[in-house]
Amino acid sequence: MNHPLRSMLLIFDGLSLITQKRLRRYVVWPFVLNVSVFLALLVWGTTALSQWVEQIMPQLPAWLAWLEWVLWLLLTAALTIGLYMVSIVTANIIAAPFNSLLAERLLQQHSPQHNETPASEQPQQNVLTTLSRDMIGGFRHEAAKLLYFVSRAVPIGLLFFIPGINLAAPLIWLLFAAWMMGLEYLDYPAGCRQVTFPQLRQQARHRSLHVLGFGLASMALTVVPILNFVAIPASVAGATKLWLHQFDPPSAHF
């Protein structure tokens, strides 16, 4: 596990882990929900595309009737990109609570130091107070991640417009995207350990090659047909194993 290349291969460990009987429910339910949402978006998009073309074409002069196929091509491309982006965002929203439970269960199974306090021993709190606290804490956490991303994505984006440097901009952007991907999935086991995002970033700096390697592997999995539907839980499982070996070594039992 000390070689960064091994961190890239953890994505395959993640694929293997999510097939375990105890963990399947954290994969099956978001998979079913995401496929359902994708199919619903696809049906809506196909219907909407036909309606858009039927509404636009009558407004064009007769001599521009040949543009219909161009219009179909442009609208199809725009709709495909739009549906892809919406499906990714939706998939992450749907999968978020399942991802937390998946990371929690893996930590419980493979880390003797990770023990939940029994419900009978937990102090009783007002439900609304607890819910409000968790919502505020979650908002702050996501806001910190968004600020971190934007503060670095904007300068990197500007590199594309600087002659000479723009040749290296795609590679820089790829590495940054892999870094963010690695942090995103490591954030689930880190959250179970009560580690904040700034603390996670600080720890990740000392293991940057491992984080980058895993992030690149996770990105690669998202473009593989069929497997992309389970890329999120596989990445969470793989990142949890990476966390136990690199960020919390004494507790690593797998």
121 in a domain, yes or no?
Answer: no
How many structural domains comprise the chain? 1
117 in a domain, yes or no?
Answer: no
Cβ count near 68 (within 10 Å): 13
Task: Give pTM, 2 decimals.
Answer: 0.74
pLDDT tens digits, 126-178 = 545 544 554 555 567 777 888 898 899 899 989 988 988 888 999 999 999 99
Residue 240: the pLDDT is 95
In which residue are the tokens 């979650």 written? 138
The per-type count for the chain, helices as H runs and strands as E runs, is 8, 0
DSSP SS3 for 122 = coil
118 in a domain, yes or no?
Answer: no
Full domain range(s) for residue 178? 4-112+126-251
pLDDT tens digits, 19-49 = 988 888 888 888 888 788 888 888 887 887 7
99 in a domain, yes or no?
Answer: yes
120 in a domain, yes or no?
Answer: no
159 in a domain, yes or no?
Answer: yes
Residue 117: the pLDDT is 45
Q: Cα(28)–Cα(37) distance, rounded to whole angstroms?
A: 14
Residue 131: the pLDDT is 44
Q: Cα(91)–Cα(76) distance, rounded to whole angstroms?
A: 22
Residue 203: the pLDDT is 94
Q: For 159-250, where are the alpha helices, taking DSSP H only?
A: 169-192, 197-205, 208-222, 231-242
Closest CA relative to residue 141, chosen from 202, 188, 92: 188
In which residue are the tokens 């039927």 written? 54
pLDDT tens digits, 184-229 = 999 999 988 889 899 999 999 999 999 999 999 999 998 887 787 7
74 in a domain, yes or no?
Answer: yes
75 in a domain, yes or no?
Answer: yes
